[in-house]
Structure 1
Amino acid sequence: MNRNELCPCGSGKKYKKCCGAHDAISITEVLVNEIEYLQKQFLHFAYYHFGHEIAEDFEILEESMDFENEQEREFFEAIHSIWFALFAELDDGDTVIKKFISAEAGKIKRPKLKHILQSWTSARTIAGKIVSFNDHTLTVEDGFTSEQLEALIFNDSYQVKEGSFFIGILLPFEQKNVFFPSLLELPGLNADLAFSYIEDNSFDYDYDTPQEYLTDYFMEVISELPMVGGLLEVDEMDWPAPIYREIALLFKEKMELFLPSPVIDTGVVLWNHFCQKKQKRIQNPNIYVAALHYLVTTIAPIDRRLTKKELANLYGVSAGSLSSVVTELEHELAEEIAQLNRLVDSSDEQEPAIQLASVIDFPKHKDSQASEPAPGQSTIMTLQGTAEKHGKKTTGRKVSKRNEERARSLIYDAMQTDGKQRYKLAEEALKLNPNCVDAYVILAEKTKSLEEAILLFEKGIKAGETELGKAFFKENTGYFWGLLETRPLMRAKLHYAEALSLLGNVDQAVRQYEELLDLNPMDNQGVRFSLFVAYMDLGEFNKAHALLEQYDDETAQHLYNKLLLELYESGFTARAEMLLKGAKKENKHVIGYLTGKKRLPAYPPEYYGFGDENEAIVYADMHLRLWKKIDGLEMWLKGK
């Protein structure tokens, strides 16, 4: 019978659209069964021959994810094994699928099945929208190319929701496709937000197309996508006046590098609640941004909170005005703050801050369970259950070795570059590796205040400690500088200590200096010189003596410091005379700067040699204020 003729069953439809369609499906279904068996063989082959490589790659991925339970872990492990076998490049440049085809294609007798298997080298990842579902055929649209594709689904219980977002891996099946292991659906996620998320990341990571990024980062994308819909969009919120929205945007911008996203969103939600209750006439937005900054850090368990005075300096506002606005916010938002405080008090999580915004109507996903996919399964799976609850996003995501290397390379380039390009490279490195400590240190250079820089140093230190881990510290304390991976953390701690000292927080600076010397007693960084100054500032002369004895190196700096300590404790003694002779013999140029005969240059020299003028400038620049506290010094030094 011609397939274009009317069907003999009397339905009035063409045969190919009626009974002929069922015949075609039954033939196709036989082929699908064979393909599902082939998929199982493929995975057995992958595990048998490359199980170590698959497990090793999943270990790296697993460290970046916070699985809710074993079922969720198995879900991701199953998806990962399929992605790895289809797309990951092995050491010899081949993929597992190519090796499987080489080994098995010759054993397949059915030409059509053999052709389908060989086409699997063209497998693709896809993120898009569901268009329709008819006669076992699911029509989907690629979110980046708008191409419409058809995939076979042999699950009569599947109910499609047109327009919903999905993500998955497609294997070619003649003129159509099959999902392997299945289509992964996120019906509650705004598709446009999901596409923007993938596109933005592909741009940030310097990919030519979102498709290339999606293929390389498929596992990370399916892990993070469930949170995209929960990210707070300021523009989509109801604001009684434009100025309130502007403050929310400014707050998010200012806080981006300093606080976790959920804590920032908590501040935005609190601000929105305040604006709904009380419409203020605002002349200086910075006061309200500073007040929100202070407010959220009093609620969330942040490692270090800035005082109102520090925040006032940071935002360029008066401490009195800031305090007044904080009091007003606390009064109007008393109920919301009480809810948040109850959550923090009752939480047994490591990071309760991540849950805060959900208590005050922060958008969040509904929970559902995800099950382990079976090879060849034609059901639709949901990723909702894999979302990190209440908008939680792992900031310490374990980064692939490739991204670590790319971030490190960018930092090397940044260190040899000046100006905007230097900071752009650091920002790009941070996107690739959130634990890139040197990136925080570089970005701290462009801050407008020491308070702001300190926040970045703190973040860098925390990232470095997370990256190295507690066991590393326990095993390697005392030998840190000899291990290259520790140096970014050591640099961040030294910058942090110096910034604290400049702000007058000398006690805190001393703790950092002492920790650095515990980690590296060889003191390749010259920490002992800054620590000596700090001990002198605090009047800790016994500790200053012990430090000089520990590092008795007979340099000009060491000898002048011994003299300085003698003058502080005992005055112009015979021993001081002797110490002065020894110090002058090592570097005679220092005296001119201590007596004021010579002025220090605007900027200290970049290098110096032992005994030269540059060494004298470096010493005087660091110690002159200590020497000026000694009454009668100039008279005593005159003529000596």
Structure 2
Amino acid sequence: MGIMCSLNQISLIKYMLKTLERPIIKRFNETDWEFINPESYDNEIVADEFWKAVEILDYDDKRAEDVFKKLIEKYPFYIDAYVHLSIAFRNQKKTFESLLTAEKAYNISRECLPKEFNSKKHKIIWSWLENRPFLRAYLNYALESIEHKNYEIAISVLKDILNFNENDNQGIRYTLLETYLKLKNFDKAKKIIKKYKDDFSIEFKFGEVALAVLDGNTKKADILLKEAIQTNNFFIDEIKKEKHIKPAPYRIPGEPFFDAGIPIGSVQQAYEYWSRNKDLYKNKKIIEYFKYK
């Protein structure tokens, strides 16, 4: 009996110690709040292990998965480890595990917010490095929710991020706009375009053209199109294609094996944007409009 009590006490102590390893968020000034991670994993040794695993994502996702799992086993409230474990799962098509892990990271992050935190006036800004895991956790959960067609959850989370970080360093407005377009909630889509009226991107400029076409306002669409083409002059051809084939990765001259991402204004960007919004751009009314441009 005495041994059992001792074992229970030890388990309780271990649990309490783990609970103390939760990150906390504190007010930095009148409006800004900052995350503070526990010393147990806020150090160079753990950070080096974590970032080495991040570097092999997309190349050796199973090995990255194993590293993130070990980190989480040691540090159960390590938000960024959960976020990147979710990505490792997603890359391996483990969709159920990816969603659950993303939700876990989101819940840990959300539970860090104290009662006195007022989302209408308090901010968690991206420029504070310690806040980035929190903001990444929210975005990753929103992306997973979209992947699983839980659009209302995604919209709610995306709006929260914009409230936390108005500068929108993560490009939340683009994901939010595309989500409204998926839902055919064109009024909300117009409102977000109006809110970011100075945004000069393929998403906003061609999105505004498409909405004008759907409204039957071709004169407005023609005016908007002149500016939209400046963001990407390959996109009109992409819309008109009967068969859409993903282009080869963009390569830097002299670096034939280095994937240089998706440059703005490139054929790769035109395809990726079409692919994310193909339900919208398969609309016959929109296709017919662009066929004559």
- Assess same fold via TM > 0.5: yes
Query: 2:52 is aligned with what amino acid?
Result: D
Question: What is aligned with 1:105?
Answer: none
Say which of 227, 235, 240 aligns to 1:595: 240
Say which of 36, 45, 53 aligns to 1:414: 53
SS in 1 for 2:141: helix
Following the alignment from structure 1 to structure 2, what is the Cα–Cα distance between the partners of residues 467 and 408?
Answer: 21
Question: What is aligned with 1:562?
Answer: 208
2:161 matched to 1:516?
yes
C-alpha contact 1:396 1:466 (8 A) present in aligned 2 = no
Question: What is aligned with 1:435?
Answer: 77
2:109 matched to 1:464?
yes
C-alpha contact 1:404 1:433 (8 A) present in aligned 2 = no
Shift of 1:475: 10
SS in 2 for 1:455: helix
Say which of 397, 400, 405 aligns to 2:20: 397
Deviations, residues 271-302 of structure 1 (Å, cap 9, x unaligned): xxxxxxxxxxxxxxxxxxxxxxxxxxxxxxxx
C-alpha contact 1:587 1:612 (8 A) present in aligned 2 = yes
Structural mapping, 1:111-510, within 5 Å: 187-189=2-4, 226=6, 229=7, 365=8, 384=9, 388=12, 396-398=19-21, 400-405=38-43, 406-417=45-56, 418-444=60-86, 445-446=88-89, 448-467=93-112, 469-470=114-115, 477-510=122-155
Query: Normalised by the size of structure 2, how large is the TM-score?
Result: 0.76
2:255 matched to 1:633?
no
Shift of 1:421: 2.7
Following the alignment from structure 2 to structure 1, what is the Cα–Cα distance between the partners of residues 227 and 108?
Answer: 45
Shift of 1:395: 5.2
SS in 1 for 2:280: helix
**TM-aligned CA distance change 1:422 to 1:486, over 3 Å:** same
SS in 1 for 2:166: coil
Shift of 1:420: 3.1
Say which of 140, 165, 178 aligns to 1:533: 178
Question: What is aligned with 1:618?
Answer: 272
**TM-aligned CA distance change 1:620 to 1:556, over 3 Å:** same
Query: 1:482 is aligned with what amino acid?
Result: S
Deviations, residues 182-211 of structure 1 (Å, cap 9, x unaligned): xxxx9414xxxxxxxxxxxxxxxxxxxxxx
Deviations, residues 115-154 of structure 1 (Å, cap 9, x unaligned): xxxxxxxxxxxxxxxxxxxxxxxxxxxxxxxxxxxxxxxx
C-alpha contact 2:21 2:40 (8 A) present in aligned 1 = no
Query: Normalised by the size of structure 1, how large is the TM-score?
Result: 0.37
Following the alignment from structure 2 to structure 1, what is the Cα–Cα distance between the partners of residues 232 and 273?
Answer: 10
Deviations, residues 162-182 of structure 1 (Å, cap 9, x unaligned): xxxxxxxxxxxxxxxxxxxxx
Deviations, residues 591-635 of structure 1 (Å, cap 9, x unaligned): 12111256241898762333222322232122122111x223333
Query: 1:396 is aligned with what amino acid?
Result: T
Stretches of structure 1 lacking an aligned partner (at least 5 in a row):
1-185, 190-224, 230-364, 366-383
SS in 1 for 2:52: helix
Query: 1:623 is aligned with what amino acid?
Result: N
Following the alignment from structure 2 to structure 1, what is the Cα–Cα distance between the partners of residues 65 and 249?
Answer: 24
Shift of 1:469: 4.5
Say which of 535, 549, 559 aligns to 2:194: 549
C-alpha contact 1:397 1:434 (8 A) present in aligned 2 = no
Structure ID, larger Rg: 1
Shift of 1:572: 5.2
Shift of 1:529: 1.0
C-alpha contact 2:126 2:169 (8 A) present in aligned 1 = yes
**TM-aligned CA distance change 1:577 to 1:485, over 3 Å:** same
Following the alignment from structure 2 to structure 1, what is the Cα–Cα distance between the partners of residues 128 and 42?
Answer: 17
**TM-aligned CA distance change 1:618 to 1:412, over 3 Å:** same
- Percent identical across equivalent pairs? 25
SS in 2 for 1:504: coil
Shift of 1:507: 0.9
Query: 2:218 is aligned with what amino acid?
Result: T
Following the alignment from structure 2 to structure 1, what is the Cα–Cα distance between the partners of residues 202 and 163?
Answer: 25
C-alpha contact 1:410 1:428 (8 A) present in aligned 2 = no
Deviations, residues 19-38 of structure 1 (Å, cap 9, x unaligned): xxxxxxxxxxxxxxxxxxxx
C-alpha contact 1:493 1:512 (8 A) present in aligned 2 = yes
Following the alignment from structure 2 to structure 1, what is the Cα–Cα distance between the partners of residues 232 and 150?
Answer: 32
Shift of 1:575: 0.9
Alignment coverage as a number of residue pairs: 261
Q: Alpha carbon RMSD of aligned pairs, Å?
A: 3.1
Shift of 1:532: 0.7
C-alpha contact 1:464 1:489 (8 A) present in aligned 2 = yes
Query: 2:46 is aligned with what amino acid?
Result: A
**TM-aligned CA distance change 1:394 to 1:542, over 3 Å:** farther
C-alpha contact 1:600 1:621 (8 A) present in aligned 2 = no
Query: 1:543 is aligned with what amino acid?
Result: K
Shift of 1:559: 0.7
**TM-aligned CA distance change 1:636 to 1:542, over 3 Å:** closer
Query: 1:410 is aligned with what amino acid?
Result: E
Following the alignment from structure 1 to structure 2, what is the Cα–Cα distance between the partners of residues 496 and 433?
Answer: 20
**TM-aligned CA distance change 1:420 to 1:610, over 3 Å:** closer
State which drifts further: 423-432 or 503-512.
423-432
SS in 2 for 1:424: helix
**TM-aligned CA distance change 1:438 to 1:504, over 3 Å:** same
Structural mapping, 1:99-118, within 5 Å: none
Stretches of structure 2 lacking an aligned partner (at least 5 in a row):
23-37, 251-259
Following the alignment from structure 1 to structure 2, what is the Cα–Cα distance between the partners of residues 415 and 494?
Answer: 17
2:222 matched to 1:577?
yes
Question: What is aligned with 1:94?
Answer: none
